[in-house]
Amino acid sequence: MQKRELGRSGLEVSALGLGCMGLSFGLGPAVERAAGIKLIRAAVDRGVTFFDTAEVYGPYVNEELVGEALAPVRDKVVIATKFGFDLESEPSARKLNSRPEHVRAVAEASLKRLKTEVIDLFYQHRVDPDVPIEDVAGAVKDLIAEGKVKHFGLSEAGVQTIRRAHAVQPVTALQSEYSLWWREPEQEILPTLEELGIGFVPFSPLGKGFLTGAISETTTFAEGDFRNVVPRFALEARRANLALVERLDQIAAGKGATKAQIALAWLLAQKPWIVPIPGTTKPHRLEENLGAAAVELTPEDLKAIDAVLAGLAVQGARYPEQLQKMVGR
Protein backbone atom coordinates (compact mmCIF):
# COMPACT_ATOMS: atom_id res chain seq x y z
CA MET A 1 0.00 0.00 0.00
CA GLN A 2 1.39 3.38 -1.01
CA LYS A 3 1.64 6.20 1.54
CA ARG A 4 0.45 9.81 1.25
CA GLU A 5 1.05 12.95 3.26
CA LEU A 6 -2.04 14.90 4.29
CA GLY A 7 -1.23 18.31 2.87
CA ARG A 8 2.02 19.72 4.21
CA SER A 9 1.35 18.52 7.77
CA GLY A 10 3.93 15.76 7.94
CA LEU A 11 1.17 13.26 8.78
CA GLU A 12 1.73 10.23 6.54
CA VAL A 13 -0.98 7.62 6.08
CA SER A 14 -1.88 4.82 3.69
CA ALA A 15 -3.28 6.05 0.36
CA LEU A 16 -6.62 4.50 1.30
CA GLY A 17 -7.97 4.56 4.83
CA LEU A 18 -10.86 2.67 6.40
CA GLY A 19 -14.06 4.42 7.41
CA CYS A 20 -15.27 2.41 10.39
CA MET A 21 -18.70 3.98 11.00
CA GLY A 22 -20.73 1.35 9.15
CA LEU A 23 -19.41 -1.44 11.35
CA SER A 24 -21.49 -0.04 14.22
CA PHE A 25 -23.89 2.61 12.98
CA GLY A 26 -25.76 4.32 10.18
CA LEU A 27 -25.75 1.77 7.37
CA GLY A 28 -27.94 -1.03 8.62
CA PRO A 29 -27.38 -3.46 11.50
CA ALA A 30 -24.06 -3.36 13.32
CA VAL A 31 -21.73 -6.29 12.74
CA GLU A 32 -20.83 -8.59 15.59
CA ARG A 33 -17.92 -7.22 17.58
CA ALA A 34 -15.60 -10.10 16.69
CA ALA A 35 -16.35 -9.65 12.99
CA GLY A 36 -15.65 -5.91 13.21
CA ILE A 37 -12.32 -6.50 14.93
CA LYS A 38 -11.39 -9.12 12.34
CA LEU A 39 -12.17 -6.77 9.46
CA ILE A 40 -10.18 -3.87 10.93
CA ARG A 41 -7.21 -6.14 11.57
CA ALA A 42 -7.47 -7.52 8.04
CA ALA A 43 -7.14 -3.93 6.79
CA VAL A 44 -4.00 -3.51 8.90
CA ASP A 45 -2.58 -6.71 7.39
CA ARG A 46 -3.21 -5.27 3.92
CA GLY A 47 -1.26 -2.11 4.70
CA VAL A 48 -3.98 0.29 5.85
CA THR A 49 -2.66 2.66 8.51
CA PHE A 50 -5.50 5.24 8.66
CA PHE A 51 -8.72 4.51 10.57
CA ASP A 52 -11.69 6.85 10.98
CA THR A 53 -14.25 6.84 13.78
CA ALA A 54 -16.26 9.29 15.95
CA GLU A 55 -17.88 9.37 19.37
CA VAL A 56 -21.30 9.84 17.77
CA TYR A 57 -21.04 6.54 15.86
CA GLY A 58 -23.17 4.32 18.03
CA PRO A 59 -22.74 6.51 20.08
CA TYR A 60 -19.43 5.43 21.58
CA VAL A 61 -19.36 1.78 20.52
CA ASN A 62 -17.48 2.41 17.28
CA GLU A 63 -14.62 4.09 19.11
CA GLU A 64 -14.52 1.15 21.52
CA LEU A 65 -14.41 -1.30 18.61
CA VAL A 66 -11.64 0.59 16.84
CA GLY A 67 -9.67 0.95 20.06
CA GLU A 68 -9.81 -2.77 20.81
CA ALA A 69 -9.02 -3.81 17.24
CA LEU A 70 -6.00 -1.53 16.91
CA ALA A 71 -4.54 -1.85 20.42
CA PRO A 72 -1.98 -4.50 19.36
CA VAL A 73 -0.66 -2.28 16.53
CA ARG A 74 -1.29 1.15 18.03
CA ASP A 75 2.19 2.45 17.23
CA LYS A 76 1.81 1.55 13.54
CA VAL A 77 -1.52 3.24 12.78
CA VAL A 78 -3.17 6.66 12.67
CA ILE A 79 -6.55 7.01 14.41
CA ALA A 80 -8.90 9.87 13.58
CA THR A 81 -11.96 10.64 15.67
CA LYS A 82 -14.37 13.56 16.02
CA PHE A 83 -16.09 15.89 18.47
CA GLY A 84 -18.88 18.40 18.09
CA PHE A 85 -22.24 16.83 18.92
CA ASP A 86 -24.24 17.03 22.12
CA LEU A 87 -24.96 13.37 22.69
CA GLU A 88 -27.44 14.13 25.45
CA SER A 89 -29.81 15.67 22.92
CA GLU A 90 -32.32 13.51 21.05
CA PRO A 91 -30.78 11.53 18.16
CA SER A 92 -33.53 12.71 15.80
CA ALA A 93 -32.62 16.34 16.51
CA ARG A 94 -28.97 16.05 17.47
CA LYS A 95 -27.59 19.41 18.61
CA LEU A 96 -24.08 20.68 18.04
CA ASN A 97 -21.67 21.49 20.85
CA SER A 98 -18.12 22.69 20.23
CA ARG A 99 -17.68 24.74 23.38
CA PRO A 100 -14.03 24.46 24.49
CA GLU A 101 -14.88 22.67 27.73
CA HIS A 102 -16.93 20.12 25.76
CA VAL A 103 -14.11 19.59 23.24
CA ARG A 104 -11.78 18.77 26.13
CA ALA A 105 -14.29 16.41 27.76
CA VAL A 106 -14.80 14.53 24.49
CA ALA A 107 -11.05 14.19 24.01
CA GLU A 108 -10.59 12.70 27.48
CA ALA A 109 -13.44 10.22 26.97
CA SER A 110 -12.32 9.27 23.45
CA LEU A 111 -8.78 8.57 24.65
CA LYS A 112 -10.16 6.00 27.08
CA ARG A 113 -12.46 4.33 24.57
CA LEU A 114 -9.69 4.19 21.97
CA LYS A 115 -7.25 2.71 24.52
CA THR A 116 -4.62 5.26 23.59
CA GLU A 117 -2.62 8.12 25.06
CA VAL A 118 -2.99 10.40 22.06
CA ILE A 119 -5.53 11.06 19.29
CA ASP A 120 -3.66 11.35 15.99
CA LEU A 121 -6.27 13.48 14.20
CA PHE A 122 -9.13 15.22 16.03
CA TYR A 123 -11.85 16.60 13.75
CA GLN A 124 -14.63 19.03 14.53
CA HIS A 125 -17.49 16.91 13.18
CA ARG A 126 -19.66 19.84 12.09
CA VAL A 127 -19.14 23.59 12.42
CA ASP A 128 -21.02 24.96 15.44
CA PRO A 129 -22.47 28.38 14.56
CA ASP A 130 -22.75 29.24 18.26
CA VAL A 131 -19.01 28.90 18.99
CA PRO A 132 -16.40 31.00 17.14
CA ILE A 133 -14.14 28.67 15.17
CA GLU A 134 -11.16 30.49 16.70
CA ASP A 135 -12.25 29.22 20.13
CA VAL A 136 -12.58 25.67 18.79
CA ALA A 137 -9.15 25.78 17.15
CA GLY A 138 -7.71 27.22 20.36
CA ALA A 139 -9.16 24.37 22.42
CA VAL A 140 -7.57 21.79 20.11
CA LYS A 141 -4.32 23.76 20.13
CA ASP A 142 -4.24 23.42 23.92
CA LEU A 143 -4.82 19.66 23.65
CA ILE A 144 -1.96 19.42 21.15
CA ALA A 145 0.31 21.35 23.52
CA GLU A 146 -0.58 18.87 26.28
CA GLY A 147 0.25 15.88 24.05
CA LYS A 148 -3.31 14.52 23.99
CA VAL A 149 -3.88 15.29 20.30
CA LYS A 150 -1.42 15.43 17.41
CA HIS A 151 -3.38 17.03 14.55
CA PHE A 152 -6.50 19.19 14.08
CA GLY A 153 -9.12 18.56 11.42
CA LEU A 154 -12.44 19.94 10.22
CA SER A 155 -15.39 18.18 8.58
CA GLU A 156 -17.80 19.68 6.05
CA ALA A 157 -16.54 23.20 6.81
CA GLY A 158 -16.74 26.11 4.37
CA VAL A 159 -13.79 28.04 2.99
CA GLN A 160 -13.91 31.00 5.38
CA THR A 161 -14.17 28.75 8.42
CA ILE A 162 -11.17 26.74 7.20
CA ARG A 163 -9.11 29.91 6.82
CA ARG A 164 -10.07 31.29 10.23
CA ALA A 165 -9.34 28.01 12.00
CA HIS A 166 -6.04 27.52 10.16
CA ALA A 167 -4.84 30.94 11.33
CA VAL A 168 -5.14 29.80 14.98
CA GLN A 169 -4.07 26.16 14.72
CA PRO A 170 -2.90 24.67 11.42
CA VAL A 171 -5.55 22.37 9.99
CA THR A 172 -4.08 19.04 8.89
CA ALA A 173 -7.11 17.70 7.02
CA LEU A 174 -10.62 18.47 5.91
CA GLN A 175 -13.04 15.56 5.78
CA SER A 176 -16.01 16.09 3.47
CA GLU A 177 -18.01 14.14 0.93
CA TYR A 178 -16.39 13.88 -2.51
CA SER A 179 -16.89 11.31 -5.23
CA LEU A 180 -17.83 10.88 -8.86
CA TRP A 181 -21.40 11.76 -7.92
CA TRP A 182 -20.63 14.67 -5.58
CA ARG A 183 -18.02 16.98 -7.06
CA GLU A 184 -18.91 20.29 -5.41
CA PRO A 185 -15.58 20.45 -3.47
CA GLU A 186 -13.81 21.08 -6.78
CA GLN A 187 -15.28 24.58 -6.96
CA GLU A 188 -13.79 26.27 -3.87
CA ILE A 189 -12.64 23.68 -1.35
CA LEU A 190 -9.85 21.94 -3.27
CA PRO A 191 -8.13 25.17 -4.40
CA THR A 192 -8.21 26.49 -0.82
CA LEU A 193 -6.79 23.28 0.62
CA GLU A 194 -4.01 23.27 -1.96
CA GLU A 195 -3.15 26.89 -1.17
CA LEU A 196 -3.01 26.27 2.59
CA GLY A 197 -1.33 22.86 2.47
CA ILE A 198 -4.26 20.98 4.00
CA GLY A 199 -5.02 17.34 3.17
CA PHE A 200 -8.43 16.14 2.01
CA VAL A 201 -10.16 13.01 3.29
CA PRO A 202 -13.24 12.19 1.19
CA PHE A 203 -15.93 10.24 3.00
CA SER A 204 -18.59 8.32 1.07
CA PRO A 205 -16.14 7.99 -1.84
CA LEU A 206 -18.37 5.25 -3.27
CA GLY A 207 -21.56 7.27 -2.97
CA LYS A 208 -22.72 5.38 0.16
CA GLY A 209 -22.45 2.17 -1.87
CA PHE A 210 -24.27 3.37 -4.97
CA LEU A 211 -21.19 3.59 -7.18
CA THR A 212 -20.36 -0.08 -6.53
CA GLY A 213 -23.38 -1.16 -8.56
CA ALA A 214 -24.70 -3.20 -5.64
CA ILE A 215 -27.75 -0.94 -5.19
CA SER A 216 -30.64 -1.00 -7.66
CA GLU A 217 -34.08 0.57 -7.79
CA THR A 218 -35.46 -2.51 -6.02
CA THR A 219 -32.98 -2.44 -3.13
CA THR A 220 -34.51 -2.01 0.31
CA PHE A 221 -32.50 -0.68 3.24
CA ALA A 222 -32.75 -1.98 6.78
CA GLU A 223 -34.46 -0.01 9.52
CA GLY A 224 -32.04 2.60 10.86
CA ASP A 225 -30.07 2.78 7.60
CA PHE A 226 -29.28 6.44 6.95
CA ARG A 227 -29.95 6.01 3.24
CA ASN A 228 -33.68 5.68 3.96
CA VAL A 229 -33.84 9.46 4.53
CA VAL A 230 -31.37 10.60 1.85
CA PRO A 231 -33.25 12.17 -1.12
CA ARG A 232 -30.62 10.83 -3.54
CA PHE A 233 -31.72 7.30 -2.58
CA ALA A 234 -35.44 7.87 -3.10
CA LEU A 235 -36.86 5.48 -5.70
CA GLU A 236 -37.18 7.93 -8.59
CA ALA A 237 -33.74 9.42 -7.95
CA ARG A 238 -32.17 5.97 -7.74
CA ARG A 239 -33.77 4.95 -11.00
CA ALA A 240 -32.37 8.03 -12.76
CA ASN A 241 -28.93 7.74 -11.15
CA LEU A 242 -28.38 4.20 -12.40
CA ALA A 243 -27.33 5.77 -15.71
CA LEU A 244 -24.13 6.95 -13.98
CA VAL A 245 -23.42 3.45 -12.69
CA GLU A 246 -23.95 1.99 -16.17
CA ARG A 247 -21.39 4.38 -17.63
CA LEU A 248 -18.99 3.68 -14.80
CA ASP A 249 -19.35 -0.02 -15.58
CA GLN A 250 -18.27 0.60 -19.18
CA ILE A 251 -15.15 2.45 -18.00
CA ALA A 252 -14.31 -0.27 -15.47
CA ALA A 253 -14.59 -3.02 -18.07
CA GLY A 254 -12.10 -1.18 -20.27
CA LYS A 255 -9.55 -1.05 -17.42
CA GLY A 256 -10.07 -4.58 -16.12
CA ALA A 257 -11.28 -3.19 -12.79
CA THR A 258 -14.51 -2.97 -10.83
CA LYS A 259 -16.74 0.09 -10.62
CA ALA A 260 -15.68 0.68 -7.00
CA GLN A 261 -12.01 0.51 -7.95
CA ILE A 262 -12.46 3.06 -10.74
CA ALA A 263 -14.36 5.41 -8.42
CA LEU A 264 -11.59 5.22 -5.80
CA ALA A 265 -8.74 5.38 -8.33
CA TRP A 266 -10.37 8.50 -9.81
CA LEU A 267 -10.25 10.20 -6.40
CA LEU A 268 -6.62 9.18 -5.85
CA ALA A 269 -5.72 10.64 -9.23
CA GLN A 270 -7.19 14.08 -8.46
CA LYS A 271 -4.50 15.24 -5.98
CA PRO A 272 -1.59 13.51 -4.20
CA TRP A 273 -2.87 14.75 -0.84
CA ILE A 274 -6.32 13.16 -1.13
CA VAL A 275 -6.92 10.05 1.01
CA PRO A 276 -10.37 8.43 0.61
CA ILE A 277 -11.81 6.39 3.47
CA PRO A 278 -14.22 3.83 2.00
CA GLY A 279 -16.04 1.76 4.58
CA THR A 280 -17.39 -1.77 4.40
CA THR A 281 -18.56 -4.61 6.60
CA LYS A 282 -17.53 -7.34 4.14
CA PRO A 283 -14.00 -8.78 3.82
CA HIS A 284 -14.31 -9.28 0.05
CA ARG A 285 -15.32 -5.64 -0.40
CA LEU A 286 -12.33 -4.58 1.68
CA GLU A 287 -10.06 -6.50 -0.70
CA GLU A 288 -11.79 -4.97 -3.71
CA ASN A 289 -11.53 -1.43 -2.37
CA LEU A 290 -7.86 -1.71 -1.46
CA GLY A 291 -7.16 -3.06 -4.94
CA ALA A 292 -8.02 0.41 -6.24
CA ALA A 293 -4.62 1.66 -5.10
CA ALA A 294 -3.05 -0.43 -7.86
CA VAL A 295 -5.33 0.93 -10.61
CA GLU A 296 -3.53 3.64 -12.56
CA LEU A 297 -5.60 6.18 -14.43
CA THR A 298 -3.68 8.18 -17.03
CA PRO A 299 -4.52 11.80 -17.89
CA GLU A 300 -6.23 10.40 -20.99
CA ASP A 301 -8.29 8.03 -18.81
CA LEU A 302 -9.36 10.92 -16.60
CA LYS A 303 -10.41 13.00 -19.61
CA ALA A 304 -12.36 10.03 -20.94
CA ILE A 305 -14.13 9.57 -17.61
CA ASP A 306 -15.08 13.24 -17.54
CA ALA A 307 -16.35 13.00 -21.10
CA VAL A 308 -18.37 9.85 -20.45
CA LEU A 309 -19.97 11.30 -17.32
CA ALA A 310 -20.49 14.80 -18.74
CA GLY A 311 -24.09 15.78 -19.02
CA LEU A 312 -25.24 13.31 -16.38
CA ALA A 313 -26.97 15.29 -13.67
CA VAL A 314 -27.22 13.30 -10.45
CA GLN A 315 -30.76 13.39 -9.13
CA GLY A 316 -31.65 14.11 -5.50
CA ALA A 317 -30.00 16.05 -2.68
CA ARG A 318 -27.19 14.33 -0.79
CA TYR A 319 -28.71 15.18 2.62
CA PRO A 320 -32.17 15.80 4.05
CA GLU A 321 -32.79 19.52 4.55
CA GLN A 322 -32.05 19.60 8.30
CA LEU A 323 -28.65 17.94 7.82
CA GLN A 324 -27.76 20.04 4.79
CA LYS A 325 -27.99 23.10 7.04
CA MET A 326 -25.00 21.77 9.00
CA VAL A 327 -22.57 21.73 6.07
CA GLY A 328 -20.53 24.40 4.30
CA ARG A 329 -20.60 26.82 7.21
For the stretch 220-238, pLDDT in tens is 999 989 999 999 999 999 9
pLDDT interval class at 34 (50, 70, 90): very high
Distance CA 95, CA 47 (A): 37
pLDDT at 311: 83
DSSP bridge pairs for 96: 85
pLDDT at residue 92 in the model: 80
Give the pLDDT confidence score for residue 90 in this predicted structure: 85
Phi, psi for residue 150 in degrees, rounded to 5: -100, -40
| Enclosing H/E stretch for 119 | strand 119-124
User: DSSP letters along 186-205, please?
Assistant: GTTHHHHHHHHT-EEEEEST
Burial class (CB in 10 A: 0-12, 13-18, 19+), 254: exposed
* Residue 57 appears among annotated catalytic residues: yes
Q: What is the pLDDT of residue 93?
A: 82
**Position 76 confidence tier, pLDDT thresholds 50, 70, 90:** very high
Q: Quickly state the pLDDT bin for 208 (edges 50, 70, 90).
A: very high
Question: Is the per-residue pLDDT at 256 higher than 90?
Answer: yes
Residue 329 maps to a domain? no
Residue 172 host element (H or E):
strand 171-177
Bridge pairing between strands 119-124 and 95-96: unpaired
Residue 142's pLDDT is 98
Counting the structural domains of the chain, the total is 1
pLDDT average, residue stretch 301-326:
92
Written as one string, the DSSP assignment of 34-97 is: HHHHHHHHHHHHTT--EEE--TTTTTTHHHHHHHHHHGGGGGG-EEEEEE-EETTS-GGGPEE-
CB under 8 Å to 52, separation ≥6 — which residues?
Answer: 17, 18, 19, 20, 21, 80, 81, 175, 201, 203, 277
Model confidence at 21: pLDDT above 90: yes
Task: Return d(Cα 5, Cα 310) in angstroms, integer.
Answer: 31
What count of residues does the chain have? 329
| Rounded Cα distance, 244 and 230, in Å | 18
Q: The CATH number of the domain where 278 resides is what?
A: 3.20.20.100
Statement: the pTM of the whole predicted model exceeds 0.95: yes
- Tell me what the mean pLDDT of segment 70-78 comes to: 98
Mean pLDDT across the chain: 96
Residue 308: pLDDT over 90: no
Catalytic-role residue among 57, 60, 123, 178: 57
pLDDT at 224: 87
Per residue in 122-167, pLDDT (tens digit) is 999 999 999 999 999 999 999 999 999 999 999 999 999 999 999 9
Partnered with residue 149 across adjacent β-strands are 119
Contact indicator for 128, 98 with CB cutoff of 8 Å: yes
Is 275:2 a contact under the CB 8 Å cutoff? Answer: no
Q: Which domain holds residue 315?
A: 3-324
> Residue 89 has what pLDDT?
84
Single-letter amino acid code for the residue at 130: D
Whether the pLDDT of residue 299 is over 90: the answer is: yes
> Within a domain: residue 41?
yes
pLDDT average, residue stretch 294-322: 92
- For residue 310, the model assigns a pLDDT of 86
